Amino acid sequence: MRATNLRAGPLEQPAPAAPKPSEQLIARANQVIRTMDGSGRQIGIRRMSVLESARFFELLGPDNSRNEAFLALAVPAYLAVEIDGEPMHRPMTRRELDARMQLLDEAGIEAVNGAIIEHWGAAEAASGDDLKNERGTQA
């Protein structure tokens, strides 16, 4: 008895399903972007979630939330979540935020701002306005 091939061609695989909107949001929220600073450190940054954004502005207080010079230092420090592969939690107190700014120093802040501009746009790096406006709040 002779075996017959019932398939006419190669078995077709279904096209991979496009990610669901919720999966896209989760992937975007967890994405860490890495950049190199002038000191040779690799710094990883991650966007703020809605809750993290609220905590950030509460941490800064009403005066510093409107202080563009301060935001230019605080936003990059808050977005930095790793240095040389070592994870760091978001600063929860003003003292922790100050320590993060000190740790990053000028080279780190500059590198993070460059990565923010490259990946998310200049408005976020300049003043944090995009962070507030993206969440639907007034700047």
pLDDT in tens, 75-125: 999 999 999 999 999 999 999 999 999 999 999 999 999 999 998 887 665
Is residue 111 within 8 Å of 33, Cβ to Cβ? Answer: no
Q: Say what the pLDDT of residue 134 is.
A: 45
Query: Band of the pLDDT at 133, cuts 50, 70, 90?
Result: very low
Q: Which residue has the higher pLDDT, 22 or 38?
A: 38
DSSP for 67-93? -HHHHHHHHHHHHEEEETTEE-PPP-S
pTM: 0.72
Give the residue-averaged pLDDT of 20-40.
87
Residue 21 amino acid letter? P
* Contact indicator for 70, 103 with CB cutoff of 8 Å: no
Q: Cβ neighbours of residue 15 under 8 Å, at least 6 residues apart?
A: none
Categorize the per-residue pLDDT at 139 as very low, low, confident or very high, splitting at 50, 70 and 90.
Answer: very low
